[in-house]
Amino acid sequence: MQNSTWRSAPSKSSFLGPIFLDHHYCSKLIIQSTGRLSRRREKRGEREWAVRAMPCSSINTTSADDNGALRAFKLSESTFLASLMPKKEIAADRFLEAHPEYDGRGVVIAIFDSGVDPAVAGLQVTSDGKPKILDVLDCTGSGDIDTSTVVKADSDGCIRGASGASLVVNSSWKNPSGEWHVGYKFVYELFTNTLTSRLKKERLKKWDEKHQEAIAVAVKNLDEFDQKHIKVEDARLKLAREDLQNKVDFLRKQAESYSDKGPIIDAVVWNDGELWRVALDTQSLEDDPVCGKLADFVPLTNYRIERKFGMFSKLDACSFVVNVYDQGNILSIVTDCSPHGTHVAGIATAFHPKEPLLNGVAPGAQIISCKIGDSRLGSMETGTGLTRALIAAVEHKCDLINMSYGEPTMLPDYGRFVDLVNEVVNKHHLIFVSSAGNSGPALSTVGSPGGTTSSIIGVGAYVSPAMAAGAHCVLEPPSEGLEYTWLQSSLKKVLSSRGPTVDGDLGVCISAPGGAVAPVPTWTLQRRMLMNGTSMASPSACGGIALIISAMKADGIPVSPYSVQKALENTAVPVGSLPEDKLSTGQGLMQVDKAYGYIQKSQDLPNVWYQIKINEAGKSTTTTSRGIYLREVSRCRQSTEWTVLVEPKFHEDASNLEQLVPFEECIELHSTEKAIVRAPEYLLLTHNGRSFNVIVDPTNLSDGLHYYEIYGIDCKAPWRGPLFRIPVTITKPMAVKNQPPIVSFSGMTFLPGHIERKYIEVPLGASWVEATMRTSGFDTARRFFVDTLQISPLQRPIKWERVVTFSFPTAKNFTFAVEGGQTMELAIAQFWSSGIGSHEATNVDFEIAFHGININKEEVVLDGSEAPIRIDAKALLSSEKLAPAAVLNKVRVPYRPIEAKLRTLPTDRDKLPSGKQILSLTLTYKFKLEDGAEIKPQIPLLNNRIYDTKFESQFYMISDTNKRIYAMGDVYPNSSKFPMGEYNLMLHLRHDNVQFLEKMKQLVLFIERNLEDKEAVRLSFFSQPDGPIMGNGAFKSSVLVPGAKESFYVGPPNKDRLPKNISEGSVLVGAISYGVLAEEGGKNPQKNPVSYQICYLVPPNKADEDKGKGSSPSCTKSVSERLEEEVRDAKIKILGSLKHGTDEERSEWRKLAASLKSEYPKHTPLLAKILEGLVSEGNAEDKIFHNQEVIDAANEVVCSIDRDELAKYFSLKSDPEDEEAEKMKKKMETTRDQLAEALYQKGLALAEIESLEGEKAPAAGGTKDVDKTDDQSAAESTQPDLFEENFKELKKWVDIKSSRYGTLWVVREKRCGRLGTALKVLIDMIQDDGEPPKKKLYELKLSLIDDIGWVHLASYEREWMHVRFPPRLPLF
């Protein structure tokens, strides 16, 4: 299940600027009012919690009074500024005072994030004058442009851009080959939603000014006409007024339907003999027509070469860099997809020579920006982005990686990305730092990869009193530091995630300051912004580690991720006094100076990571854990024995003889509570590892949370502290003994920031909860977080959460699903600043009532037959009302690919550090929608997993037959609305193992369509198996008595009520529920807290009853006549199959056409086929001659048809039951269509000849002299109007308003100078046409707008032409 907080949309703050929140960022931006934080130690159950000593550090760390984060302080200007970029808390200030040259110099950090703006202050140079940013990369491909099209300049130095614009090349640019690679991009695709919204407002304002001017002119023209012609009776005058009115109507409708798809920028790439160069034409972004021209652009090259960047325009203030791949065929324009990445980079490394207090933690460090947030998906990370980022980090020889992204996971320490990270850390010695997540306060909420991966240092978010008072402007700051408990303005909660992981690992390694005021991109129109969360804690820790690495390099100490992480954990200052606080803070608040002292002292010791693998004794399983996590009641009622394997892991480049063979350590094992956790006292550890047994006895523990550790100390060097730790977490649940099963927690008192945790054994048979929360004892509003969490194998933690505000003492009710037999944690937290002013405690009573109806089928499958499915229902806990409800509201259609293309990706950015080149598999699926619908593609094998999957990445695009993109997505597909039509879905898969990809060439994909309410199928229930057929024995409801079983049947849907256009093999999907909430009695299963999936397999359609009936009468024609007709039709078919691409092909076609025409001179189908062939040669050089040929061919078709006989036939009705009559009807309809097509093509050709010869209607925008009568106009004309005569003839045979022939009507109106009416007719045609948009119609629309002179609308339509009819599909 996706974390809804992490996937929230950006919002706006009126204080410091925009709040940028994305589902995967582990940070939130807040501005908080006055408040006081307090932490309470209170009794739980009947006894005071004892403080147990835990091994957090081995070196004598600074006391709380000396710690920069905790000691008393008085806010001044300097301390205020320092609190905006906290460094004292991790002792970075003390370290830099002692070692100013160890400020990160010589260290390179890879920032895996949303992208870093290279233009911001603070990220230009390091403290020693080196470039701050070494490279800026878009690893996702969201900024890629296909520049494989190559053009050459004409004699005037002009080239045709990919957008169709004529571009002038700067004559000073060197291009020995003369080849220019061209491409284009919608600029909004490069911008964030926030920036796009700002630009849209600006552009709409300017567009609307011009549009209102156009409306004013149109209304004025209409008004002047009305004043001149008070009474309009003449037909020509009526048409003229109608034309003026149509212009006004069109303009008004255009204002209502305005949708800004953004300006288009042309890109040009060339090789100057040494480097690939890039120039952009951004005139569409500028108000001044002389600005943004291609020739004025200062060419850029790959950022890492010259470290130069550009800016699109002053209005957007958005900077960008470029990178060229695949020999000029791919251009990557890199922009950020959120301020998040720049802010993170600033915390880690910003350098402000004039504002040193606002420096980042390591101002001497350099960075590379690896954008892993895909702009096409908002800013969500993709597997492609993550893999390419790791490749770039190794290629640039980075020392550190910071990643402030993540999400919940099903399997910790597992997946393709984790495998690659392990290789990078173990083989290339990179230190990977990542945020732990913001999904607390419940336990086991750490996100992946930061909180769940052994080779990554996961960081929790800490806030000090100084940060609260300064950065957060709190009037009464907390008396001591604590983990963050914040709230975002949209009332979505933001609390630092807690461990342990589901396999028992601690989850959080260390903590660091989780908030800062740091640089943000220039497009935000501000220099700095406040953000907080674990996203900010991670770069703070990363910057501190950069200081340590800087010192290690300067002092010649080899850098190892193993030794650095051990030093950080063993020198951290504990946060909180309870053992279980480690689940929130890790080993504590990191201390830079002490960690480096530890490294100095241990530099001669081997660099070893101690891998822990744990199995329960006596159980054979391939799955191991990294800690002991006793959560379920069965584990907490008896002693359990565990086998622990400790395996020392060296880096891959370690020497067998010099490091592995001599390794031997005598380990003294300690338990923090021997009465509960028992282990051997000593262990002799060699390179091959050693196992030992541990016994955990939780039987005498009270209900609630308990945390212990087993840790190993080097007997010869106890100063090293714990070499490894084995976390032991016990959440002993309380049993529910009441009948009915109700649990009450009364008399809980809350002060700001307080968290209550309760652990409950959910009774077997429970499936949902009805809870009530009552508050009292306060006079101002209170705000609470309420979380419940259960853990079930091979699932993400099952979490329910609410943010609840009580304006006055009252009660609030909740309902949510639970899983029977699994321990449930209930976590209630009062928001840290809620109720600060009153200083009153809030009294809370929380009551939980368990309900449940057990059924024999959690998923009901109706197989398409008429047989119902029996359901057995039982209530195990208490009496429940059984009232089943089921609805089928989705259609899921399976598809297999029609094409599979496997290829090797061509660029070095897709070559793994191991040297393997990544492969791609592109699968193409086709599907058709008979009506507009909201659909979602689903790939069961791949969806909903980014980190816990062995597949690298996936990305899909859905386009229509014009190549217009309607939807994009990856592991989390979204529903999108589509008009009727045919679509292609292209799925892009990547991996370096060809065998994996080969197995996926026939991957099944589902297109899931949401049914409208009127189409949804509601199912019926019966008490008898024959009920669906006999129509009797309906089952409505019943009362289940505990222990008694009741059965009933769910019937299949009535075949007559199935949605239209549903095909065999499709699956109708919906929900079925059985219980009824106490306060509701609805029949909608989706409104119940517990519902199950129900599906219906659509059977084959009924056989065609008329098929095969009757027999054709014997043919009256002789064999020779029939043979002659067959030969003739075959010749015509061959003629139609011939191509017209080259002069030789056209010549062959004409010879055959002439031959056949001489043989069958009056055969209408032949003449119609010849006309069709001539029309297809629309690119002829001599347009007038070509159109005359079309006219002649059309006349031949018309002359071959007896129109009187045709008219006579259609004046009579035919008998539909007469087979011969039906055959004749079909033949005559075909003849009529051939006649109409000939007249239609003739009309178009006549109009085009008129246009080419300059004999068309008056100039654009005008109309013919409407004061002249038809007789006067006729008298002035000495020649017959061939076009008008042809048009009138066509009207006799077909509906001229139809989309098939309406173009000729548009041409006629344009020919008469009635451009407004022509536009109206054309718009009606486009709207009525059920097929995908036709480019010719929109080109005609654009020409009409150009002729009228609406320049702003013409520009708007040209932008939309690129949306509707792109020349090619975008790159993946």
Active site residues: 113, 340, 535
What distance lies between CA 367 and its chain's CA centroid?
27
Cβ contact 319:522 at 8 Å: yes
Contact 457, 421 (CB under 8 A): no
The helix or strand, by DSSP H or E, that contains position 1246, with its residue range, turns out to be helix 1219-1252
Geometric angle at alpha carbon 758, from 757 and 763, rounded to 5° = 150
What percent of the chain is helix, strand and coil (3-state, nearest 5)?
Answer: 30, 30, 45
Burial class (CB in 10 A: 0-12, 13-18, 19+), 8: middle
**Nearest one of 781, 786, 756, 784 to 840, comparing CA atoms:** 781
- What DSSP string runs through 413-479? T-SHHHHHHHHHHHHH--EEEEE--SB-SSSS-PPBTTTT-TTEEEEEEEE-HHHHHTTT--SB--S
The identity of residue 938, as a single letter, is Q
**Rounded to whole angstroms, what are the CA distances from 255 to 241, 550, 1314?**
22, 60, 21
- Spatial separation of the C-alpha atoms in residues 626 and 645, rounded to whole Å: 10
Q: Is 256 exposed, middle or buried (0-12, 13-18, 19+ CB in 10 A)?
A: exposed
Q: Where are the beta strands (DSSP E) in 733-868?
A: 742-750, 755-761, 768-776, 782-790, 798-806, 811-817, 823-830, 842-851, 854-855, 860-862
Among residues 24, 26, 8, 37, which one has the least CA distance to residue 533? 26
The CA angle 65-70-73, to the nearest 5 degrees, is 85
User: At 756, is the secondary structure helix, strand, or coil?
Assistant: strand
**Is 626:636 a contact under the CB 8 Å cutoff?**
no
Separation of alpha carbons 68 and 89, rounded Å? 5
Sign of CA dihedral 336, 337, 338, 344: negative
DSSP one-letter string for 1010-1071 = EPPTTT-EE--EESSTTHHHH---B---EEEPTT-EEEEEEPPPPGGGSPTT--TT-EEEEE
Q: What is the DSSP string of 74-118?
A: ---HHHHHHHHS--GGGTHHHHHHH-TT-SSTT-EEEEEES---T
**Nearest CA to 664 among 648, 649, 647, 686?**
686
The secondary structure of 837-903 as a DSSP string is: TT-PPEEEEEEEEEE--EES-SSEEE-SSS--EEEEEE-SSS-EEEEEEEEEEEEEEEE--SEEEEE
The candidate with the shortest Cα–Cα distance to 533, out of 550, 558, 515, 548, is: 515
Integer-rounded Cα Rg, in Å, for the chain is 38
Dihedral (C-alpha) 971, 976, 981, 986: value to the nearest 10 degrees?
A: -20
Whether a cis peptide bond, with omega within 30° of 0, leads into 797 is no
- Report how far residue 48's alpha carbon sits from residue 577's, in angstroms, rounded to the nearest whole number: 13
- DSSP string across 303-365: HHHH---EES-TTT--EEEEEEETTTTEEEEE--SSTHHHHHHHHHH---TT-GGG--S-TT-
| Maximum Cα interatomic distance, the chain, rounded to a whole number of Å | 119
